[in-house]
């Protein structure tokens, strides 16, 4: 049986990595990242997004800056870029598709 919540979390993490890879070299505030997440999961919430950004930050894939106005700003670290570009192995916890090329 598939754990739907786990699959959603891991896929959301991969979407965040891809979104921030496309936002390079500037990074992005949480609003545009949430818009991408909601294109796949219309019920995705800001709290859910922040939880996954925090997870990716703990793994040193994303650098998160909490702005004084309450918004979060994120950008990929070099490890995050390597993950997005398939130059390093993907550890469990992120639903990166297998490389097919």
pLDDT tens for each residue of 62-71: 999 999 999 9
Q: What is the mean pLDDT of residues 15-35?
A: 96
Tokens of residue 18, six digits: 């891809």
pLDDT of the residue at 29: 97
Burial 29-67 (b: 16+ CB within 10 A, else e): ebeebbebbeeeeeebeeebbbebbebbbebebbebeee
Q: Model-level pTM? A: 0.93
Determine, yes or no, domain membership for 43.
yes
| Residue 45 belongs to domain spanning | 4-84
92 CB neighbour count, 10 Å cutoff:
6
Give Cα 31 distance to the centre of its chain.
13
Tokens of residue 60, six digits: 């040193």
């Amino acid at each position: 049986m598939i754990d739907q919540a786990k699959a959603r979390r891991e896929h959301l993490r991969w979407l965040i990595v891809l979104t921030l890879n496309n936002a390079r070299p500037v990074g992005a505030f949480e609003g545009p990242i949430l818009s991408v997440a909601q294109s796949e999961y219309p019920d995705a919430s800001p709290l859910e997004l922040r939880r996954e950004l925090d997870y990716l930050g703990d793994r040193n894939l994303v650098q998160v800056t909490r702005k004084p106005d309450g918004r979060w700003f994120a950008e990929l670290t070099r490890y995050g870029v390597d993950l997005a570009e398939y130059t390093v192995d993907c550890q469990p916890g992120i639903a990166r598709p297998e490389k097919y090329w």
